[in-house]
Amino acid sequence: MLNDNYKPFYELPNLSQFIGKYIEVRIESSYLTHWNPAIVKRHIWGNDFYTSSSDAVCVLIHSGAYKIGAEAPDCAAVSVYFKVAKNRANYNNVFRNGIKSRKITSSGYEGHSIRFELVQERKDFDKNEDELVNLVDLAYGMPTKPREVKRK
């Protein structure tokens, strides 16, 4: 499983070795507000299956998995799990949960697809990059499903 910390407009690295597996993106609570610039600029392509260049917070909102407001939530961060899939022929635009995704065809996109699976609030958030797992170390023997937690 690939673990990585989020920043607005963050694009995931090449996910070829994670097709069919899950990745985790950790998002600090300060980014979970209406003031996140990626939300304002609608940095999201697709619906249900999104491009791997789509912003994780935009996907959370669009999928209905997390509601945000003007203030940060009362948690340190969230862990968001996505399932990685191959590139799709088209990523259609849809207005859902207050945000309209963008449309793109695969001829203009070379990345992968991600599908939202799970969000889990975290009581702590360590920005220390040493905690993150090295992508090369994750190429083999990774789990195919994140541990189950209840959605809010």
Confidence at 100, pLDDT banded by 50, 70, 90? very high
- Mean pLDDT of the residues in the chain: 81
pLDDT in tens, 33-65: 999 999 999 999 999 999 999 999 999 999 999
* Mean pLDDT confidence for 89-110: 87
pLDDT of residue 141: 37
pLDDT of residue 59: 96
Alpha helices in the chain (DSSP H): 37-40, 56-62
Task: Give the integer Cα–Cα distance in Å for 42 and 59.
Answer: 10
pLDDT of residue 152: 41
Confidence at 89, pLDDT banded by 50, 70, 90? confident
Task: Give the integer Cα–Cα distance in Å for 15 and 21.
Answer: 10
| More confident position, 33 or 136 | 33
Confidence at 127, pLDDT banded by 50, 70, 90? low
Asked whether 75 and 30 are in contact (CB, 8 A), the reply is no
% of the chain at pLDDT higher than 70 = 78
Domains and CATH numbers, the chain: 2-124 (2.170.130.20)
pLDDT of residue 111: 85
pLDDT of residue 10: 78
